[in-house]
Homo-oligomer: A and B are copies of this chain.
């Protein structure tokens, strides 16, 4: 197993936004066209919470909470909540006892389980339980961050931004100011300091984190329990997964951290209709984008991404079906592709639902007319929407070609990527050392060079990836690139791929290394088909990239302006887009209409056994032995998972769900299939966050894992040792 799935998944969004291909993919059987009803799109209105409920601690929504739940939290409540919450790499977590016990998801801990695994063990598969404190295992290169400092630095950043004369300069000045502030605060406080951009640049906050670096593994269930139902049940509900792991934070003295800020365990756990709060770090949302930006996303970015994921799932499934021995090597990769595939299918469906964009249009209409009616705002902001819309047209015109010239992203064949890196190396090496990029200088150079040719290429897998890569390059160039025409033309991609793989020297580590060692001139003169293609198209590609970067700067500057307009009009009455920083999301435990009937607010262990037997005891609904024959003391009717209307997204994995008394009632681990389009629009009609129920966690620990030490600590709030 490699690193954390979750990070991979939601960073796909960021990483892949500028990948390209204008062809709309076939979306598979699931996306059926119109069931016409009498909905008149012009009558659709934006909802009060379309922009969501991921409230910041900078601007806690006390009045709204009081109005909604007759509950006005005190400053102490917020401080306690903020300090008991933690951020892990790619995930969220929280302190749940005074002795530094930390709760997060099993799927957040896959990397950690790998890292502490010992010879003869298979912890990622079999799980782990430290029967004593001494058995808890330190996770190398791991940490947990606690948000201890928040300061508004908007004025300083905005001042810097406004000093720039061109869009490009403004964006650069802002970057410099942010770097300077972060450095200054880090030196002053010794904390991990980040400037967080809210409202696309409407507000800026300095967040200072206390970082705990001694984090030890205490408990994890078997993979089958943590990921019960596997890819099919992923992003769905009713659900039955014990997606929980416990860590413990240790202090610098090597002893369990003593902390007064933690979420004690609730006696009963989440109950139907109860108000509950999620404290966690949602990764990224796009709810404040303009309609034009959303349309670009719908028509270019997401379709390409979905197409790439669709192909990858097919390619890797076929490959693993033929080579079951390669499972260990590629299974996690396939998991992440399947997960992304399902996610982007849902998101694309959301964007293609005309009601989604009708709501967005209505929001924008209101926002624009607020700007238009105030002279001061009018002067500053009124042109922004049209300017951003024009920039989308420019981006659209560049999208396909830029995408075709992007060699190191998801869905690409690795040979173009290797060739690209080698050519880049050659180009840099021809310059004097002080004119090269950082990683081609001094000590960094050797590392960079080593990474150029790091592994033998799997030719069979590469062939299918290359066929796909060539297909969409052909779509993207659309006959307009002479070099690509010469390389591929209208010949079947399978024939071209076979030919290229037959003639390239890059599939073999030795010959590739030989080429790198031969030096820049030899590289740039190489007849290897991949290298030669990169070299010949280098000027074209560089030009396209420059134009894309120019458009992006202009867009970024306008987006920042728009963010300020948003803040000027709405203030903090709507929360900013997610930024993988601490938020609190309020909601209610609640079932919803589903499948022609109703999904219950909670599920029980009975449902897990139903799926286990219903599918004939097969993966991914298989149960380990100790679960197949539970002891008579096991109470199967204990609540196991539940749904609530809280606003969560990737990055929220591992977030505690707490009640008004800040007691743990559950643990976020997913959203239902209806919630997938919530990257652009929050709704609570049928969209739900999915959690493990606190009572289910305790019952499993007690009756199945006999984790007495842990049960006592969780119940008592501290270790008994």
Residues of A within 8 A of B (CB): 24-27, 29-39, 41, 229, 232-236, 238, 272, 342, 346, 349, 352-355, 591, 593-598, 600-604, 606-607, 609-611, 613-616, 636-637, 672-673, 685
Contact at A35–B673, with CB atoms within 8 Å? no
Contact at A27–B33, with CB atoms within 8 Å? no
Residue of B nearest to A237 (CB): B595
A29 to B672, CA, bound (A): 18
Q: Return A447 CB to nearest CB of chain B, in Å.
A: 43
Which B residues are in CB contact (< 8 Å) with A354? 33-34, 36
Contact of A35 among B353, B591, B602, B603 (CB under 8 A): B353
Contact flag A235-B39 (CB < 8 Å), given A604-B610, A636-B609: no
Residue of B nearest to A41 (CB): B33
Contact of A36 among B33, B229, B636 (CB under 8 A): B33
Which B residues are in CB contact (< 8 Å) with A597? 229, 232-234, 236, 673
Residue of B nearest to A34 (CB): B34
Residue of B nearest to A239 (CB): B597
14 A-B pairs in the complex with CB atoms less than 8 angstroms apart = A24-B38, A29-B593, A30-B593, A32-B35, A33-B36, A34-B35, A34-B352, A36-B354, A234-B597, A346-B596, A597-B673, A601-B615, A604-B609, A607-B614
A615 to B636, CA, bound (A): 15
A272 to B615, CA, bound (A): 9
Contact at B606–A609, with CB atoms within 8 Å? yes
Q: Return A682 CB to nearest CB of chain B, in Å.
A: 17
Contact at B610–A614, with CB atoms within 8 Å? no
- The complex is assembled from copies of this chain, and their number is 2
Contact at B595–A32, with CB atoms within 8 Å? no
Which B residues are in CB contact (< 8 Å) with A614? 238, 600-604, 607
Contact flag A609-B637 (CB < 8 Å), given A27-B38, A35-B353, A616-B272: yes
Contact flag A27-B37 (CB < 8 Å), given A272-B616, A597-B233, A607-B610: yes
Contact flag A32-B600 (CB < 8 Å), given A610-B607, A610-B610: no
Q: Return A26 CB to nearest CB of chain B, in Å.
A: 6
Residue of B nearest to A596 (CB): B673
Q: Return A596 CB to nearest CB of chain B, in Å.
A: 3
Which B residues are in CB contact (< 8 Å) with A33? 34-37, 39, 41, 353-355
Contact at B37–A352, with CB atoms within 8 Å? yes
Which B residues are in CB contact (< 8 Å) with A26? 37-38
Contact at B616–A611, with CB atoms within 8 Å? no
Residue of B nearest to A271 (CB): B616
Residue of B nearest to A40 (CB): B33
A672 to B30, CA, bound (A): 17
Contact of A606 among B595, B610, B673 (CB under 8 A): B610
Contact at B35–A596, with CB atoms within 8 Å? no
Since A32-B353, A238-B610 are in contact, a sample of 9 more A-B pairs with Cβ atoms closer than 8 Å, ordered by chain A residue number, is A27-B37, A29-B593, A32-B39, A33-B355, A34-B36, A35-B353, A37-B352, A604-B609, A604-B613
Contact at B36–A232, with CB atoms within 8 Å? no
Q: Return A306 CB to nearest CB of chain B, in Å.
A: 11
Which B residues are in CB contact (< 8 Å) with A41? 33
Which B residues are in CB contact (< 8 Å) with A31? 35, 37
Which B residues are in CB contact (< 8 Å) with A611? 600
Residue of B nearest to A25 (CB): B38
Contact flag A673-B352 (CB < 8 Å), given A24-B38, A33-B39: no
Which B residues are in CB contact (< 8 Å) with A613? 604, 606, 637
Which B residues are in CB contact (< 8 Å) with A595? 236, 594-595, 673
